[in-house]
Amino acid sequence: MEFTAEAIAGFLNGQIEGDPQVKVNNIAKIEEGFSGALSFLANPKYEHYIYTTRSSVVLVNKTFVPAAKVEATLIRVDNAYEAFASLLRLVDQARPRKKGIHPSAVIEPTAKVGTGAYIGAYAYVGENCIIGDNCSVYPHVYIGDNCRIGNNCILYPGVKIYHECVLGEGCTVHAGSVIGSDGFGFAPQSETEFMKIPQLGNVILEDHVEIGANVAIDRATMGSTIIRRGVKLDNLIQVGHNVEIGENTVMAGQTGIAGSTKVGKNCMFAGQVGIAGHLKIADGTKLGAQAGIPGDVKNDNSILLGSPAIDHKDFLRSSVVFRKLPELKTRLDNLEKEFKALKNK
C-alpha cells in the first residue's frame, strides 16, 4: 500500500512541513530509514538520527524544534508515538483476513461457529463450544468443551484453552499460551507425599484482553480466575489460580502472581515482578523490574522498587548507601582497629 504525506497528515490531523506529495510504502526505524519509508521521532535521545535519516516522511511532536536542516518531510502531530501506533493499526487492519474452516480441523457436532470465522488446520473445537463471529483460530489451537469465545477474538497457533473457560470480545491470545490449566493445588499427606486438589473453576478473560506468547493462566480451584477488561500481559507470565487482575493493568515479561491475589486496576508491572499469594494490590500501583511483593500494597498509585519492595524514593536513597558499602566497611574496620588500640592503652 502506498500513501502520500498529505493523506497521512489528513488521517492524523497533522501539519506538513515539506513535500505533501512524497509517497511512502513502508515503515522503518528512524535510524534505519530508507527512501519510501515512514518513521517517527518521539524520544529526544534519537533526535540526531532525524538529520541523517533516509526516510521520506517522519512523524514528530508539534513541539519539536530542529537544530539543523531536515531533509525528510515532517508531519507534526500532538503525540508522534501514538500517531505512529494509529498508522500501524490501520496497516494491520488492511491486511487480508483468512476465513473458512480447514478440512483437517475438528469441530464437534454440538459446537457453534459464528459467521466470518476462520478455523485453521488441525485445530480442535470441543463439545458445546461457542465461537463468536469473525474469530480467527489458527492451526493447532485446542479449545476444550463448553468454552465460550466472543466475537473478533484471535487465537494464534498452538494456543490451548481448557474446558469451560470464557473469552470476551476482541481478545487476542498469542502462540503457545495456555488458558485454564490446573492451579498448583496440593495438600500435604506426609513429609514426602502430596494429594492433588481438583481444580473445578475456570478462567474468564473480559473484553479486549491481550495475552502474550507462552503465558500460563491457571483455572480457579473454585469460582474463576478473572482477567478484567483491557488487561495486557506480556510473554512468559504466570498467573496463579483464583487471581483477579483489574481493568487496564499491564504486566511485562516473566512476572509471576501467586494464587488468590487481587491486583487492582490501572497497575503497571515491569519485568520479573514476583507477587506472593493471597495479597491485595491497590489501584494504580507501579512496580519496578524484579520487585518482590511479600505483603499487601494498600495505598493507590504506589511506586515500589526492590525485593522486598519499598517506596521508590526510599529505594533510591538506599541504593546510594548500598554503593558505598565497601567504603563504609573499610572505614568501620579502621575504626575498630583504632578503638582496640585505644582500649589496649
Check if 241 is active-site.
Answer: yes
Active-site entry in 208, 241, 278, 312: 241
How far does CA 141 lie from the centroid of its chain? 21
Q: What are phi and psi of 83, to 5 degrees?
A: -65, -40
Backbone Cα Rg of the chain? 27
- Let me know: does 247 contact 266? Beta carbons within 8 Å: yes
- Let me know: does 293 contact 256? Beta carbons within 8 Å: no
Whole-number Å distance between alpha carbons of 146 and 298: 38
Can you tell me whether residue 200 is helix, strand or coil? coil
How far does CA 43 lie from the centroid of its chain? 21
Identify the burial level of 278 via C-beta atoms within 10 angstroms of its C-beta, where 0-12 means exposed, 13-18 middle and 19 or more buried: exposed
Query: Which cell goes with 49?
Result: 538520527
Place of cell 489528513: 10
- Would you please indicate which residues are annotated as catalytic (active-site) residues? 241
